[in-house]
A and B are shown apart, each in its own frame.
Chain A
Amino acid sequence: MSFLQLNAISHVYLTESAAKEALSDLSFSIAEGEFVSLLGPSGCGKSTLLSIISGLLQPTEGTVSLQNKMIQSPGERMGYMLQQDYLFPWKTIEDNCYIGLKLLNKLTPEKKEITLALLDSMGLSDVRHAYPDQLSGGMRQRVALVRTLATDPDLLLLDEPFSALDYQTKLKLEDLVFQTLKAHQKTAILVTHDIGEAIAMSDRIILLSPRPGKIAKIFQVPSQLQTLLPFEARNDPVFPENFQMIWKELDSLEQSPT
């Protein structure tokens, strides 16, 4: 019995001019506590797939089930992190972190306390009454992480959450997200086009081929890298060979005519 199960997912985008197949017959499963990356060139439908897993988008065919329950709409079992923080500029940092609990009608004093503790653990307690425009990009994305974790979701969906950050901030945040997810024993799916990031952070990498999105290959990240912090993993001697291997695979996908 797997934690998350995708069964024969296909998705077609309909527009006035055409029907475009974005995903075709995708099936895989993820175990509890696992960190899986979806890697692929642009147009491989990785963000579409993430939207389907979250329940934001209904697939044309196929089913998604989390702990043997079908997912039909988004809710508290999922935490979704977007490419940018998208904190509400009119709310304070604290209120931004409470938004999920508020929407789920679960904003109790205990939950507030847990959220504030989480904010504190990320070194953000000084800015809880500040507004997003007073914070740097890295800080804002950390707040977004707290916002996502505040509802205590079973599964985290990360949609290229580091792509809008500068390199240094990105490396630091990768470590932070990695540590936080491990500490809370969360299962996570990361969508990325960054091979290094995928290897450094995940246990398993699912490589997608484009037009329509299909599983091209699944890589198991060497166990010695799995336990290391992303920053350390990048410096590990086996990192470059894994990088090369996936690089070649990705390169051939982009070149092969479809």
Chain B
Amino acid sequence: MNNLQLDKQHQQYVKKLKREKYEIVTWQIFILLAFLSLWELAGRLTWIDPLLFSYPTKIASLFLTKLYDGSLLLHTSVTLLETVAGFMIGTVLGTAFAAVLWWSRKASKISDPYLVVLNSMPKVALGPIIIVALGPGYLSIITMGASISIIITTLVIYHAFHTVEPNYIKVIRSFGGNKKQIFREVILPASFPAIISTLKVNVGLSWVGVIVGEFLVSKQGLGYMIIYGFQVFNFTLVLLSLFMIAIFSSIMYLGVEWLERKLIKH
């Protein structure tokens, strides 16, 4: 086969890939539009109770009202700030604990049963105690966002540290490398994939912690908006909050994926 034919085949293949991609995006948009219009129609024709399930244009108009009076921006930014803070604190402290456990075998053995108990404990159940201890404010909510991810982060990343190919460590040791150098040159970079996948899980977890925290503290934030909407039976408000959560948690997830591409090239 000559080059011209090969080129042609390649072009056809690329075309086919493009067409497939186009088809998938079309389907995705179609499903979204179909869902929204069906919802709208069902709400307006009262196939479903619009008081409970609302409908998209009603949510959109509430979105605009809340956007103009500034309250949506306030609640969203409060929640976002708390979530990002909880996420970062949980991940950084979890990784730091994992490093300590890796450093000292004895520490890891001693803490093992405690970690097991703490891990199986539903962290949101600690909510009331955290609020009483730290006061009903940002601090408690951020603590809840962080506490929900910290133990699982510690466990997963410690496991990753521990299962690094021992021969990589041998390479460093054969050059006289010390423990700090082993950690920096091998353990940490080799564990980046595991760290990234915990980050992905932690995005979801810290949202859970923060929303539940806001349910309990009930002052500000999207969690507060949900609880308030529920109490006054304004489900349009509840759905608007859910919509905002969906948008921002997806953005955070995309942020982690961006970090993944930056950090892990090979």
**Max count, chain A CB within 10 A of own CB: residue among B171, B172, B192:** B171
Closest residue of chain B to A92 (Cβ to Cβ) is: B266
Hey, what's the 0/1 contact readout for B233-266 against A, CB within 8 Å counting as 1?
0000000000000000000000000000000111
Q: Bound complex: CA of A56 vs CA of B177, how far in Å?
A: 11
Contact of A74 among B167, B176, B190 (CB under 8 A): B176
Q: CA–CA, A130 to B265, complex, Å?
A: 12
Query: Quick one: CB contact mask for A102-146 with B, threshold 8 Å, 1 for yes?
Result: 111000000000000000000000000001110000000000000
Chain B contact residues (Cβ within 8 angstroms of A): what range? 20 to 34
**Is the C-beta of A100 less than 8 angstroms from some C-beta in chain B?**
yes
Query: Is B170's CB under 8 angstroms from A56's CB?
Result: yes
Contact residues of B: prevailing secondary structure: helix
In the complex, which residue of chain B has the Cβ closest to the Cβ of A54? B174
Indicate if B10 sits at the interface (CB-CB under 8 A). Answer: no
CB-CB under 8 A from A151, the residues of chain B are 175
Which of the residues A54, A73, A82 comes within 8 Å of B167, measured between beta carbons? A82
Residues on A with C-beta less than 8 A from B167 are 82, 84, 86
Q: Which A residues are in CB contact (< 8 Å) with B189?
A: 88, 90
A102 and B173 CA atoms in complex are apart in Å by: 13
A74 touches B174 (CB 8 A): yes
The contact of A86 among B168, B176, B266, by CB within 8 Å, is B168
A80 contacts the other chain (Cβ, under 8 Å)?
yes
CA distance A86 to B265 in the complex (A): 18
Chain A residues 54-107 with CB under 8 Å of chain B are: 54, 56, 73-76, 78-80, 82, 84, 86, 88-90, 99-100, 102-104
How far apart sit A151 and B186, CA to CA, in the bound complex (Å)?
19
Task: Please report A residues at the B interface, Cβ cutoff 8 Å.
Answer: 54, 56, 73-76, 78-80, 82, 84, 86, 88-90, 99-100, 102-104, 131-133, 151
Please, could you name 8 A-B residue pairs with CB atoms under 8 Å apart, sorted by A?
A80-B171, A80-B174, A84-B167, A88-B168, A88-B190, A90-B192, A99-B172, A131-B266
